[in-house]
Amino acid sequence: MSLASADAPGAARESAPARRRPVVAIVLFGLLALLPLAVSLGLPPHWMTLVTRAMIFGIAALSLDLILGVGGLVSFGHAAFVGIGAYATGIMITEGQTETLLILPVVLAACALFGLVTGFVSLRTRGVTFIMITLAFGQMVYFLAQALSAYGGDDGLTLYERSTVLGFDPFKNRVAFFYVVLGVLLACYALVSVIVASRFGRVLRAARENATRVSVTGFHVSRIRLVAYVISGMIAGLSGFLLANQTEFVSPAFMSWPRSGELIFMVVLGGVGSLHGAIIGALAFLVAEDVLAGWTEHWKVIFGPMIVLFVLFTRGGIVGLMRRLGVARHD
């Protein structure tokens, strides 16, 4: 199987749906941008905080979809990157360094290094073994965070300041922070979309279907997967930076295996392989969680089976359902 075929007439036949693909994403981002206006017109104020948090997890889910939906790699330790980003932010703020332009390079470098080391080991395996190794690496970071007694240990780390940008405090204003998160989400979506549409992305997708054939054509599948894994981890670390600034608290729970499971659920709920589906899945997951929690203290008994049943019977998650209803085109 040659990747050159992606530039041939077959790719031309796919160009028309590809042009229509951004429509759902444009509508999604447009509706999100209007949320502050809706709040000013009477929507409960807590929705601003809720949707901001959902968008932050949407960034993490989007990063996971790059390796899960496009690359076919089921990582059960992806929340470790979120936790590393959050802890790098929290530790630097605690030590008196609040400048975002200094914090972000540290966050991205830490996540890239962790992704490079763990990916180099994990990607030598496949299937269940890969899942278990990523889970093991995630738990290692989780227990390391618990052992950081100087930074709260198991109790977590409370932040008394938020990050600044060139002396300004955009994260302290709720509306400004909302639009910062929305802007970062949009930038990450655009970046991942470009990666998926590139030659690199086509090779990654082809390797998911048949790695042996791709290797025969001369591509180094392991290296391509490793690069995708590192990029995915860096984007997830960015969500950790934003999460730390929103909650003003960092905890080992940010990188626990249940959190990784939730990220997988978000991707599956929205539709595996559909980038805007990962964002929709994160929004639906957290909104449903909030609504049910407002109804009953036993909401988890309802929430778990509801999510499982929805995923089982919708085939393709929310985006798959939208396609069958004619709302969205196939990616």
List, as one string, the DSSP characters of 114-176.
HHHHHHHHHTTS-HHHHHHHHHHHHHHHHHHHHT-GGGTGGG-EE-SS--BBTTB-TTTSHHH
- Dihedral class, residue 42 (left if φ above 0, else alpha if ψ from -120 to 50, else beta): left
Q: What pLDDT, on the 0 to 100 scale, is given for residue 227? A: 95
Q: What pLDDT, on the 0 to 100 scale, is given for residue 328? A: 53
pLDDT at 33 over 50: yes
Give the pLDDT band (50/70/90) at residue 264.
very high
Instruction: Give, for 185, the enclosing helix (H) or strand (E).
Output: helix 174-197
Q: What is the mean pLDDT of residues 165-178?
A: 87
Between 17 and 301, the more confident residue is 301
**Residue labelled with tokens 């990450």:** 188
**Please, is 212 exposed, middle or buried when counting C-beta atoms within 10 Å of its C-beta (0-12, 13-18, 19+)?**
exposed
Query: Closest by alpha carbon to 260, among 133, 126, 87, 81?
Result: 81
Q: What pLDDT, on the 0 to 100 scale, is given for residue 329? A: 52
Q: What pLDDT, on the 0 to 100 scale, is given for residue 50? A: 93
Q: What pLDDT, on the 0 to 100 scale, is given for residue 3? A: 46
Give the pLDDT band (50/70/90) at residue 2.
very low
Q: What is the DSSP letter of 76?
A: S
pLDDT at 159 over 70: yes
pLDDT at 314 over 80: no
Instruction: Give, for 29, the enclosing helix (H) or strand (E).
Output: helix 22-33
Give the pLDDT band (50/70/90) at residue 107.
very high
pLDDT tens for each residue of 40-88:
888 888 899 999 999 999 999 999 999 998 988 999 999 999 999 999 9
pTM: 0.89
pLDDT at 15 over 90: no
Give the pLDDT band (50/70/90) at residue 9.
very low
Question: Considering the chain, what is the average pLDDT of its residues?
Answer: 86
CA dist., res. 135 & res. 25, Å (int): 31
Half-sphere exposure at residue 277, Cβ-oriented, CA atoms within 13 angstroms: 32
Q: Quote the percentage of the chain above a pLDDT of 70.
A: 92
pLDDT tens for each residue of 220-263:
888 999 999 999 999 999 999 999 999 999 999 889 888 998 99
Q: What is the mean pLDDT of residues 109-134?
A: 92
